[in-house]
Amino acid sequence: VELQLRSLSRLLMMLGGMALPPRLERLDRLRTMILGGSLGGGRTLAGCRLVPYRGRLLVCREPAAVAGPLALRNGRPAHWDGRFAVSLRGAGRAAGFQVAALGAEGWRALAAAGADGRAAAIPGAVRPTLPALWHLDAVLAVPHLHFRREGTGVRLTAEFRPVRPLSPPDLLVPAV
């Protein structure tokens, strides 16, 4: 039971971008629901959403808990939502670029641009929480969907580098 609780706690902290673990009582209640198959339509805890998905358990960021927009400057790396190392390239000295969640509005814009077909492999619960590059209320890029608006010349990189990885870096064993 202790290993289950620790593992679940680390997973939630990693995906939720949280620095502190969830309360033990709530964590144990969630563990019991998962093992008992009683999640129903899903639950949230520590900034994460847990939902049954295709016979498995999907754990993703809770849309309401995603960080707000973060202004980006060309060539200056930043960290967004406690989960992603982001960087903007090709913007020169232009201002007004920001990384923010794709959200429903961004998803509608991608669908209007005909780019939503690329997202078929990504569960609908995950899509609104993906990092997207926005400028003047328009989505310019969504790296995880391999989308970049033509003719803009700007590029957003977003690498999953959570503040709290599953395993502390000092426990990682180098490959031989």
CA distances from 90 to 76, 95, 155 (A): 12, 12, 6
Q: How far apart are CA 145 and CA 129, in angstroms?
A: 12
pTM score of the predicted model: 0.86
pLDDT digit string (tens) for 63-120?
999 999 999 999 999 999 999 999 999 888 888 999 999 998 998 888 887 776 666 6
pLDDT of residue 91: 85
